A and B are shown apart, each in its own frame.
Chain A
Amino acid sequence: MAVPGVFMRVNQPTPPYFPPPKFNSGGRRQFCVKACAGTSDGEEGKMVIRKEKDGWKIDFSGEKPHTPLLDTINYPLHMKNLSTKDLEQLAAELREIVYAVAKTGGHLSSSLGVVELTVALHHVFNTPDDKIIWDVGHQTYGHKILTGRRSRMHTMRKTSGLAGFPKRDESIYDAFGAGHSSTSISAGLGMAVARDLLGKKNNVVSVIGDGAMTAGQAYEAMNNAGFLDTNLIVVLNDNKQVSLPTATLDGPATPVGALSSALSKLQASPKFRQLREAAKSITKQIGPQAHEVAAKVDEYARGMISASGSTLFEELGLYYIGPVDGHNIDDLVAIFEKVKAMPAPGPVLIHIVTEKGKGYPPAEAAADRMHGVVKFDPPTGKQIKTKSPTLSYTQYFAESLIKEAEADSRIVAIHAAMGGGTGLNYFQKRHPERCFDVGIAEQHAVTFAAGLACEGLKPFCTIYSSFLQRGYDQVVHDVDLQKLPVRFAMDRAGLVGADGPTHCGAFDVAYMACLPNMVVMAPSDEAELMHMVATAALIDDRPSCFRFPRGNGIGAVLPPNNKGTPLEERILMEAAECDSWIRAIVQQCLGAAEMLKSHNISATVADARFCKPLDTDLVRRLAKEHEILITVEEGSIGGFGSHVCHFLTLNGILDGQLKLRSMVLPDRYIDHGAPEDQLEAAGLSSRHICGTVLSLMGRPMEALKLQ
């Protein structure tokens, strides 16, 4: 497959080539230096980016290809003088994203799909003065490469490295931080209005995808944009996926909801040209004063036979342009230039159609298009998955939910476009009519679950802890206030590693446990998780929730047949002196207890499965029998520790000899990185717990010496 010694010079004539200097209106001379693919024919087949009839072909089978043009681009300013041909070559070279992600893992195909869009936007607009806001942000790998972070791409998603999403702290070219979806139009509108109020003249471009369009906030923003009529460009990047991740277990997910069919109708071209021809011939016959008539016919024609979805955007007040081939740089640049040149276009929506993973054949062929990947092998696309003896918590959850659903036909599962992330793809396979994917619409998911619960079903609303923040009012008002038995399964609770603070589930204990009717549980291992699923299935008179972390199980013995049994509190380790209450980071506490043993301190480790209702007998007993009480949780202030503290103070237990300390996540956002590093940064590792105990016992020097 590799073809040694064959490469093509992409620039004619022979290098070095200095075109005549260009003069802009300011009279400043500019010249550009064109980079050439190779200096002589003697080079062995390193040049593997070729232009063929139907596009650029990149050969991924060998080493990372040379990228002569990309090497000259450090900032978008360096792209201004490139011709269309150069831009196309740049786009082909920019697909070195494949090699970068192959080494670090991360999101792959979203960035590949928008390479041409990224190049076109940076060529036409003058960032950072012009603002480009990327929705969600996992498609910005190309953007980061072009905006001065190419040398750091190998640190993507690692501790102290580049974030996987745009981050204002990281670069001035990242106009708005993202991570949760559907926020780009709102933010863009805010920036556009601010620009108008301040009298500035820059452009604002919001890029949003078809999946993010399923969230209500996008429509709220478009509605407002249409009303305000400020100059704003919205680029709708339609890759026909409209669900996340883009596959069920068996193959690509069929698009979710009615919106996708509207979008696909938009892409079907009507017999537009024919009518226009007719109109032209009529105009010719009527004569020169037919300008008005022709304009009317044009408008009429557009309204009559324009694809039936564009009226949705028109009604909201955005001018619709499209569909446009999102991989044709010529077209993209032309449109952006024209719209930019107009003095007062108002809000404009440009609908581009792209293919997710374009340019990398293994991604194009994969069922989920290689949306999120771990390290992989570039020639084949095969991911290098580390073998683990245990499955992830997500999988254990899915297994136990399936078993519960087999026993009880009223159990249904709801998720918000995260079938793979929540494990409900497995549930979907086994019980297809009882699994509901509502699109990226957490608010709707919660109230939808409430409606199901009203009629006697048992809904399991499975939403990531940080995404449930979006539906919080619905949890309070629609579920908790009415005491409806909706079960919330909050995956990715606590620190989540490489995704960083945007996906971190730090607040769920705080915001769930303060609700009057909610039952709040947290498992310490996978067996506990299964028991909690069973417990939640049984709680039928009030809402309940349980939160579990990202990661793999510890290897606990699973209940038979993956079916859990309902729970009560339990003590893991008995001891005399002090005591720790644990939540999801039970393993850290067990580790701390071991370390304390070596310092001659015996510790009791208790697994607090229920934050609410608190097992008050156990708390009382432990407080009576021990000198020191420490609560540890991977959550923010206001959670489990606060509830224990509140209880103890109200019952006078803190008036005596007991020393109480709460260990929680610090009052700041922990950056992305490896999970162990995050735990260290948060101060919740075994070492820290042990150190806290030692300090309390008056042995601070030993605490300082801990490794």
Chain B
Amino acid sequence: MMSAHLVSTAEPTLHLCSKSKNSVTANVISSISFSSQVTKSRISVKNRTRPGRARIQAFYAPVETREALYQVLGITETGSSYSEIKKAYKEMARKYHPDVSPPERVDEYTRRFILVHEAYETLSNPEKRASYDRDLAAGSGFGCSAGRKSRQYHQGMEEKREWKYRWEVQVDELKRRRENFNSNSRDRGRVSWGARMRNQTS
């Protein structure tokens, strides 16, 4: 049973993703970790892109919502071509359109329909899709609806911050490795040409 939630972060931006209770997110990383990172703060916001529709609740969700938009459309993350996405969208749209939904579940189906539409808009645009895929990998749980310049800028900054963190670690690692390297060189068997030259001159 699918339920729809809005995900938001520190910046006041809106995102959509879906969460399945039976999701098999075989995500080793998140399973070992640190449930302390999952915080839930509920914020009620109005859907900015469609004024007048029902208010939707928002909270910060951890990365299990990985398959978000792809799951909405019922397609796989990699290798879905444009025509497959379109086909899936049409199916879902037909299913959840408010006009054809049973009266007692109009609200739910409407929310679903909005989600489906957002998913299609994002995934059918190769640029947005690429950016969305990157964000999934970044583990920030973003789901992208129509991009706004400032949000893209912040996403870009977030990505750059990740990069910076990563290369700082790599540089430290290099330093550490090479400091141990010379002392352990015998353990590694062959002494490289470069190491021999350095030993000669130093």
Instruction: State yes or no: do A and B come from one complex.
Output: yes
A residues at B contact (CB < 8 Å):
54, 196-197, 199, 227-231, 267-278, 281, 295, 298-299, 302, 305, 319-325, 328, 331, 335, 338-339, 342-346, 348
The yes or no answer to B32 lying at the interface (CB within 8 A) is: yes
Known: A321-B171, A335-B167, A335-B171. A271 touches B178 (CB 8 A): no
Q: B167 contacts A322, CB within 8 Å?
A: yes
Cα separation A319 to B167 with both chains bound (whole Å): 12
The yes or no answer to B22 lying at the interface (CB within 8 A) is: no
The yes or no answer to B170 lying at the interface (CB within 8 A) is: yes
Q: B193 contacts A321, CB within 8 Å?
A: no
Cα separation A331 to B182 with both chains bound (whole Å): 28
Q: B195 contacts A229, CB within 8 Å?
A: yes
Q: B133 contacts A268, CB within 8 Å?
A: yes
Query: Which chain B residues lie closer than 8 Å to A54 at the CB level?
Result: 153
Query: Which chain B residues lie closer than 8 Å to A278 at the CB level?
Result: 29, 32-34
**Which residues in chain B, 131-156, are within 8 Å of chain A measured between CB atoms?**
133-134, 137-139, 153
Q: B163 contacts A324, CB within 8 Å?
A: yes
Q: A274 contacts B174, CB within 8 Å?
A: no
Cα separation A230 to B195 with both chains bound (whole Å): 7
Q: B63 contacts A345, CB within 8 Å?
A: no
User: B105 to nearest A CB, angstroms?
Assistant: 36
Q: A268 contacts B138, CB within 8 Å?
A: yes
The yes or no answer to B169 lying at the interface (CB within 8 A) is: yes
**Which residues in chain B, 19-66, are within 8 Å of chain A measured between CB atoms?**
29-30, 32-34, 37, 63
Query: Which chain B residues lie closer than 8 Å to A324 at the CB level?
Result: 163-164, 167
User: A648 to nearest B CB, angstroms?
Assistant: 55
Q: B170 contacts A320, CB within 8 Å?
A: yes
Cα separation A326 to B192 with both chains bound (whole Å): 32
Known: A227-B192, A230-B193. A342 touches B178 (CB 8 A): yes
Q: B174 contacts A319, CB within 8 Å?
A: yes
Q: B173 contacts A302, CB within 8 Å?
A: yes
Partner of A269, one of B163, B176, B197: B163
Cα separation A278 to B63 with both chains bound (whole Å): 15
Closest residue of chain B to A277, judged by CB? B34
Partner of B33, one of A231, A277, A295, A328: A277
Query: Which chain B residues lie closer than 8 Å to A271 at the CB level?
Result: 29-30, 63, 137-139
Cα separation A274 to B177 with both chains bound (whole Å): 23
Cα separation A276 to B169 with both chains bound (whole Å): 10
Cα separation A84 to B169 with both chains bound (whole Å): 22
Cα separation A275 to B165 with both chains bound (whole Å): 13
Cα separation A299 to B171 with both chains bound (whole Å): 13
Cα separation A302 to B153 with both chains bound (whole Å): 28
Q: B192 contacts A273, CB within 8 Å?
A: no
Cα separation A343 to B32 with both chains bound (whole Å): 38
The yes or no answer to B175 lying at the interface (CB within 8 A) is: yes
Interface size class of B (residues with CB under 8 A): 35 or more
Nearest 8 A/B pairs, CB to CB: A229-B192, A229-B194, A269-B162, A230-B194, A271-B139, A196-B197, A268-B137, A321-B170
Cα separation A563 to B170 with both chains bound (whole Å): 59
Q: A230 contacts B197, CB within 8 Å?
A: yes
Cα separation A319 to B181 with both chains bound (whole Å): 13
Cα separation A299 to B193 with both chains bound (whole Å): 25
Query: Which chain B residues lie closer than 8 Å to A344 at the CB level?
Result: 178, 181-182, 194-195, 198
Cα separation A278 to B28 with both chains bound (whole Å): 12
Partner of A342, one of B33, B175, B192, B197: B175
Query: Which chain B residues lie closer than 8 Å to A322 at the CB level?
Result: 163, 166-167, 170
Query: Which chain A residues lie closer than 8 Å to B197 at the CB level?
Result: 196-197, 230
Cα separation A241 to B30 with both chains bound (whole Å): 34
Query: Which chain A residues lie closer than 8 Å to B178 at the CB level?
Result: 342-346
Query: Which chain A residues lie closer than 8 Å to B83 at the CB level?
Result: none
Query: Which chain B residues lie closer than 8 Å to A345 at the CB level?
Result: 174, 178
Q: A274 contacts B29, CB within 8 Å?
A: yes
Q: B164 contacts A272, CB within 8 Å?
A: no
Cα separation A348 to B202 with both chains bound (whole Å): 21
Cα separation A346 to B33 with both chains bound (whole Å): 35
Interface pairs (26), CB distance under 8 Å: A196-B194, A196-B197, A196-B201, A228-B194, A230-B197, A270-B139, A271-B30, A272-B166, A273-B162, A273-B165, A275-B33, A277-B33, A278-B32, A278-B34, A305-B29, A319-B174, A321-B171, A323-B163, A323-B167, A324-B164, A325-B164, A331-B164, A339-B171, A343-B202, A344-B195, A346-B178
User: A306 to nearest B CB, angstroms?
Assistant: 8
Query: Which chain B residues lie closer than 8 Å to A281 at the CB level?
Result: 34
Partner of B166, one of A231, A269, A299: A269
Closest residue of chain A to B36, judged by CB? A281
- Known contacts A278-B29, A325-B160; 18 further A-B pairs (Cβ under 8 A): A54-B153, A196-B197, A196-B198, A228-B193, A269-B162, A271-B137, A271-B138, A277-B33, A277-B34, A281-B34, A299-B173, A322-B166, A324-B163, A331-B167, A335-B171, A344-B198, A345-B174, A346-B194
Q: B163 contacts A348, CB within 8 Å?
A: no
Q: B192 contacts A228, CB within 8 Å?
A: yes
Chain B CB count within 10 A is highest, among A231, A325, A348, for A325
Q: B133 contacts A338, CB within 8 Å?
A: no
Cα separation A321 to B174 with both chains bound (whole Å): 9
Query: Which chain A residues lie closer than 8 Å to B139 at the CB level?
Result: 270-271, 274
Closest residue of chain B to A330, judged by CB? B164
The yes or no answer to B121 lying at the interface (CB within 8 A) is: no
Query: Which chain A residues lie closer than 8 Å to B195 at the CB level?
Result: 229, 344
Cα separation A577 to B159 with both chains bound (whole Å): 77
Cα separation A54 to B175 with both chains bound (whole Å): 32
Query: Which chain B residues lie closer than 8 Å to A325 at the CB level?
Result: 160, 163-164
Cα separation A413 to B164 with both chains bound (whole Å): 43
Closest residue of chain A to B62, judged by CB? A274
Cα separation A229 to B178 with both chains bound (whole Å): 11
Query: Which chain B residues lie closer than 8 Å to A331 at the CB level?
Result: 164, 167
Q: B169 contacts A229, CB within 8 Å?
A: no
Q: A295 contacts B176, CB within 8 Å?
A: yes
Cα separation A197 to B194 with both chains bound (whole Å): 10
**Which residues in chain B, 184-202, are within 8 Å of chain A measured between CB atoms?**
192-195, 197-198, 201-202
Known: A228-B193, A278-B34, A342-B175. A269 touches B153 (CB 8 A): no
Closest residue of chain A to B191, judged by CB? A229
Query: Which chain B residues lie closer than 8 Å to A227 at the CB level?
Result: 192-193
Cα separation A344 to B194 with both chains bound (whole Å): 9
Cα separation A180 to B32 with both chains bound (whole Å): 50
Query: Which chain B residues lie closer than 8 Å to A323 at the CB level?
Result: 163, 166-167
Q: B34 contacts A269, CB within 8 Å?
A: no
Query: Which chain A residues lie closer than 8 Å to B162 at the CB level?
Result: 269, 272-273
Cα separation A338 to B178 with both chains bound (whole Å): 13
Partner of A268, one of B37, B134, B160, B193: B134
